Structure 1
Amino acid sequence: MPEPKIITSAQNPFIKEVAALLHKSRTRKKTGRFVIEGQRELQLALKGGYEIEALLVCPEIASEELAIEQSNYPIVQVSKSIYEKLAYRGSTQGVMAIAKAKEHTLGQIRFKNKNPLILVAESPEKPGNLGALLRTADAAAIDAVLVANLQSDLYNPNVIRSSVGCLFTTQVGIGTSGEIIAFLKDRHIKIYCAALTASKNYVEMDFRGSSAIVVGTESTGLTEAWLNNSDQNLIIPMQGEIDSMNVSVSAAILIFEAKRQRGF
């Protein structure tokens, strides 16, 4: 294997390119590339079939075993000061990777289970919330996450970080609300919307058939497009002074109730 290229200047074009991919959604979308930070996230991306173009390694932080383990990929070595300027987190084992983004069209979604369980998130406002939803989806091993009217971009570093790499292990489809509603109806998947009006207690629902649990934004909830196409609205009863919870917490409660009913 050729000797790794060593970069010592923050003004190097490659370092500037990595910085742009980290900080600019436009660059990620234009190039179809993004940055993975951390050994755990990188391993999950490889498991998820992502194509890695290059590794950026800081020898002062990364172990020797790490560099050898990833020896199948072009390696660029950088100083500790450069790595720390790029890194979002302090404990990422001194490794980043440039990877190719995948397409996330609804037409690419495939269900392994006869009665799939799906999470739909409409217009998630914060990358951290979307990442937390993906983490929950992985923990429950549901069939897919569908994102309606995505406000950010899926490969925002905050999405990857808050999902702890579960973006790479979860089947994700992106579309408009109308497209996703049509997708679900065409496949005879029941739509259960988390909403405050015309709702039943979530424990009264039967999630054993093909089911999509739909959550909206914390500020305004779901739009009329979803409420008008809901098979049944559901609610998690609150016992305190507030009438709602963080969207990822609510989704976790609903998803794991569905999994409980399915015997998992």
Structure 2
Amino acid sequence: MIKQITSTQNSYIKELVLLKEKSRARKKSGLFLIEGAREIGLALKGGYHLDTILFYPELFSETDLDQLVKDSVNRIEVSKDVYQKLAHRDTTEGVLAVTKTKEHVLESITLKTENPLILVAEAPEKPGNIGALLRTADAANVDLVIIANPKTDLYNPNIIRSSVGCVFTNQIAMGSTSEIIAFLKEKQIPIYCAALQASVDYHTLDYTKSTALIVGTEATGLSQEWRDAATQNIIIPMQGEIDSMNVSVAAGILIFEAKRQRNFK
């Protein structure tokens, strides 16, 4: 028998609301919510472990559930009110997964190619920007995304939504700037920092070997620590009145120049 929950005052539902709304609850429990069949499918593909599936049968049937989840997972049928209480999006598909978080430490990273392409973003705050960076990294099949000095919980619902589930398909690590610089230097990976100071045009360098592309926030750019550690600072020439662009756009330009030089391999 599939368990049913119809009350928004149910204690388990209240716990899930906290997972949805509070980073502290996600970190304490090691659990987070995924909304939508595509996102859940990508999480499964990325090796995430589902704890519980909740579904609203008028939008997502048991047959749909069988097709989405092949393994034995705890299933709960919920009412419309309960589903709407848990859902983050206005338009949705009627299915949610309570999922176990992963550890994103540098020590667990395995670089699977001899000449990896790595994207490092220092202290990104806006979930929309983080999601866009992850979508770009996924589109280019970047080997590793590293977030330095993270300001936002990786399992924030807005990151999951804006990344369209690419938070699950990228290999992601987090750490301090010092830790990441040490990691890159240990691996003998050249560091190319997007910065205005002492920079050369980004397209004049060779990115066919191991490459780490470093981007900072639009407001403050990269810290001095990164600029000091750079193999070379690089700049995207601009012809308008401003001297910066959206971080995800800048990252996309740099990443796809590297992919072009590598013949998109």
Q: Distance in 2 between matches of 1:200 and 1:208?
A: 17
Q: Which residue of 1 aligns with 2:255?
A: 255
The alignment's TM-score, normalised by the length of structure 2, stands at: 0.96
Q: SS in structure 2 opposite 1:166?
A: coil
Comparing 60-69 with 183-192, greater Cα deviation is found at: 60-69
Cα distance in 1 for partners of 2:65, 2:30 equals 26
What is the DSSP-based 3-state SS (H/G/I as helix, E as strand, rest coil) of the residue aligned with 1:11?
coil
Shift, 1:153, TM fit? 1.0
Give the drift of 1:236: 0.8
Q: CA deviation at 1:14?
A: 1.3
* CA shift for structure 1 position 64: 4.2
Q: Does 1:179 align with 2:158?
A: no
Deviations 1:75-107 (A, max 9, x none): 111111221222111333100000110101101
Q: Count residues with an aligned counterpart.
A: 262
- Any gaps of 5 or more consecutive residues in structure 1? none
- Range with bigger deviation, 177-186 or 56-65: 56-65
- Structure 2 unpaired stretches of 5+: none
- Cα distance in 1 for partners of 2:79, 2:169 equals 31
Q: Which residue of 2 aligns with 1:59?
A: 57
CA contact (8 A) 1:56 1:77 kept: yes
Q: Which runs of structure 2 are paired with 1:78-157 in the superposition (5 Å)?
A: 78-157=78-157
CA contact (8 A) 1:130 1:159 kept: yes
**Correspondence for 2:43:** 45
One-letter amino acid of the counterpart of residue 56, structure 1: L
Report the alpha carbon displacement of residue 237 of structure 1 after superposing the two structures with TM. 0.9
Aligned 8 A contact 1:192 1:214 in 2: yes
Q: Distance in 1 between matches of 2:239 and 2:63?
A: 52
* Distance in 2, Cα, partners of 1:220 & 1:12: 45
- Residue identity matched to 1:196: L
Distance between the aligned counterparts of 2:240 and 2:61, measured in 1? 49
CA distance in 2, matches of 1:66, 1:242: 49
RMSD: 1.0
* Counterpart amino acid of residue 152 in structure 2: S
2:237 maps to 237
Over residues 54-77 of structure 1, what are the superposed CA-to-partner deviations in whole Å (9 max), with x where a residue is unaligned?
001011211443122236311111
Contact 2:7–2:81 (CA<8 Å) still a contact in 1?
no
* Paired amino acid for 2:57: P
Task: Give the deviation of 1:244 after TM superposition.
Answer: 1.1
